Structure 1
Amino acid sequence: MKKMILILSAAVGLYACSGNASKQETPAASTPAKTESGNPAYDPERGAGKFKDVAVSATLDKPMAEAGLKVYDVKCASCHKLSDEKLVGPGWKDVTRRHKPEWILNFITNVDEMLEKDAKAQAMLELCLVRMPNQNLSDEEARNVYEYMRQNDGVK
């Protein structure tokens, strides 16, 4: 009988402790980080990462697009179709019309932080149900892939 009371007490104690832990919030989690100017550090238009202002010309940079195709073939094609059809990840059709270059480049080079902070990235994860792995693209590779995406979207 004493063992039963001891086990029951331990179970109630564990249950009570676990309920309180889930309700506690730290101030850092409830308020977003701010810059020195007082503005939020996260910009949903560009996402989270080092790309802030990407200069994109009106015409396609064909050598970059060709280099981007090579990266696509090796690291992207197994999960992304060039149409709007979902494979493992979303299709790439019109991706450069739906998102700013900064957002795309930050997403493909900083996947984990984007999935943590960005509502659009989180919505895509809910649809695809598979996290995009970090492909460890260099900035140059990422920019080439972006140019290939533009070519796929009809930029000449």
Structure 2
Amino acid sequence: MKNLKTLLIATLVSGLTFLYACGPSNGGSDSENTSTAAPAATASADIDPAAKSDSKGIGRFTDVKLDAIDPAMADKGMVVFNAKCGACHKVTDQKVVGPGLKDVTKRRTPEWIMNQITNPVEMEAKDPVGQALLAKHLTQMTFQNVTDEETRQILEYFRKNDSK
């Protein structure tokens, strides 16, 4: 009986932790988060979130210079991705909570990708592609406290994955 109670409590805590990690909170207020979902459904109706876009998105990344893929940086990006993004995303076509990210670097600019990772609430509130993604997947992407350096590493991981 004691083991059953412990198992039930552990299951409940795990479920709540997952919901919190993948839920609507990104460090903003509840009113911010609920207000971003409604405009996304209407503002993005004519945008295909799977289509290629040249948008740089909304955030501090306005000019990302890319050289040849750096395998060491990509390996670091894989570690960060698995730790902070892997619960909701895969680098395949598979949708989990969020969309599959296969070929994301072929559909989005480096700036857009980095802004989405570091500024998801504003991107999904104001960026047309971000709004369309939110409308399609119905889940606000959460900010995972990823540094700029880690974000660049994740981008390099995506580039390496998409080059295969």
Task: With the length of structure 2 as denominator, give the TM-score of the two structures.
Answer: 0.65
Where do residues 69-84 of structure 1 align in structure 2 (5 Å cutoff)? 69-84=78-93
Q: Give the structure with higher Rg (CA).
A: 1
| Alignment pair present for 1:122 and 2:120 | no
Unpaired segments of 5 or more residues in structure 1?
1-43
Q: Considering only aligned residues, what root-mean-square deviation do their CA atoms show, in Å? A: 1.2
**Equivalent of 2:65, from 55, 60, 63?**
55
Q: Counterpart of 2:100 in 1: which secondary structure?
A: coil
Query: Which residue matches 2:31?
Result: none
The structure with higher relative contact order (CA 8 Å, sep 6+) is 2
Unaligned runs of 5+ in 2: 1-53
| Residues 6-34 of structure 1 deviation map (CA, whole Å, 9 limit, x = unaligned) | xxxxxxxxxxxxxxxxxxxxxxxxxxxxx
Aligned length: 111
The runs of 4+ residues in structure 1 deviating greater than 3 Å are: none
- What is residue 46 of structure 1 aligned with on the other side? 56
Deviation at 1:127, TM superposition (A): 1.4
1:82 and 1:142 map into 2 onto residues whose CA distance is: 15
| TM-score (norm. length: structure 1) | 0.69
Provide Cα deviations, 1:5-62, integer angstroms capped at 9, x if missing partner: xxxxxxxxxxxxxxxxxxxxxxxxxxxxxxxxxxxxxxx71111110110011x2101
Q: Percent identity?
A: 49
